């Protein structure tokens, strides 16, 4: 078996975590891009969403994660029983999430579904791979909200498509690899081709943001609809 060694060292993230909503049981935050969700095994990767929030909310736990380069809404439980109840909602797929992304190039279709199984491959770490034999089923819906030229640093303009992405499953790197498989990688996504097209190598971040989340409060049953617009 191929041994996996993670040599990634996260650069410092100067951006603050924004509190979008909170009560005595849970917290909704806006995670900045370039911040780990959980602290890494390497001591240099101590800074993370969880590390910072523990200072403000002792005993809190992350109900789910966002990739290092992804910004947007995250759900944080303030005790173990609330964490268990929220995790059940995620595992039972009763939580609906929407992401906003800028994709490289102009997608011809206005909406569609990407269905492709995703598998781990130690030889490709940290990237995932598409494999119908070994992979877990994964399905993502998308709808186009705009097509235009996006100005990057050094005044370079690149054609992009703004989309709403609605994952129906929650596999690792699902939206990133699905967009690549559709021929339009997420702008700035270094693992899945988002910096390979001319001009895109200057993208300052991965243009993927968790912009909307619908969940039910585990204690009182109130539907919670959280929205956080993308910064791009």
Active-site annotation holds for 67: yes
Average pLDDT over the chain, rounded to an integer? 95
Active-site residue, selected from the candidate residues 15, 67, 121, 164: 67
**Which domains can be identified in the chain, with CATH numbers?**
18-227 (3.30.2350.10)
| Residues with Cβ within 8 Å of residue 18, at least 6 apart in sequence | 29, 30
pLDDT at residue 1 in the model: 47
Closest residue by Cα to residue 177 from 122, 138, 123, 133: 138
Tell me the per-residue pLDDT of 84-124, one tens digit each, with 9 for 90 and over: 999 999 999 999 999 999 999 999 999 999 999 999 988 89
> 74 and 67 in contact (C-beta within 8 Å)?
no
Tell me the per-residue pLDDT of 79-88, one tens digit each, with 9 for 90 and over: 999 999 999 9
DSSP 116-138: --EEE-GGGTT-EEE-TTTSBP-
Dihedral-angle region of residue 147 (phi above 0 means left; psi in -120 to 50 means alpha; beta otherwise)? beta
Name the band, by pLDDT with cuts 50, 70 and 90, for residue 5.
low
């Amino acid at each position: 078996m191929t041994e996996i060694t993670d040599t990634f060292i996260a650069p410092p993230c100067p951006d603050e975590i924004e509190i979008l909503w909170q009560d005595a049981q849970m917290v909704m935050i806006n995670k900045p891009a370039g911040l780990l969700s959980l602290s890494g095994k390497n001591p240099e990767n101590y800074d993370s969403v969880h590390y910072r929030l523990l200072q403000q909310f002792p005993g809190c736990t992350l109900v789910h994660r966002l990739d290092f380069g992804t910004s947007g809404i995250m759900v944080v439980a303030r005790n173990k029983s609330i964490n268990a109840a929220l995790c059940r909602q995620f595992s039972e797929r009763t939580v609906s999430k929407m992401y906003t992304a800028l994709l490289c190039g102009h997608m011809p279709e206005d909406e569609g579904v990407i269905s492709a199984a995703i598998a781990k491959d130690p030889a490709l770490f940290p990237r995932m791979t598409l494999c119908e034999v070994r992979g877990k089923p994964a399905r993502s819906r998308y709808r186009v909200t705009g097509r235009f030229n996006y100005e990057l640093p050094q005044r370079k303009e690149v054609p992009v498509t703004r989309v709403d992405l609605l994952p129906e499953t929650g596999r690792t790197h699902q939206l990133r690899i699905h967009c690549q498989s559709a021929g339009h990688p997420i702008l700035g996504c270094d693992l899945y081709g988002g910096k390979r097209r001319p001009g895109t190598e200057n993208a300052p971040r991965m243009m993927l943001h968790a912009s909307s989340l619908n969940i039910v409060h585990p204690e009182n049953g109130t539907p919670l609809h959280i929205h956080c617009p993308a910064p791009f």
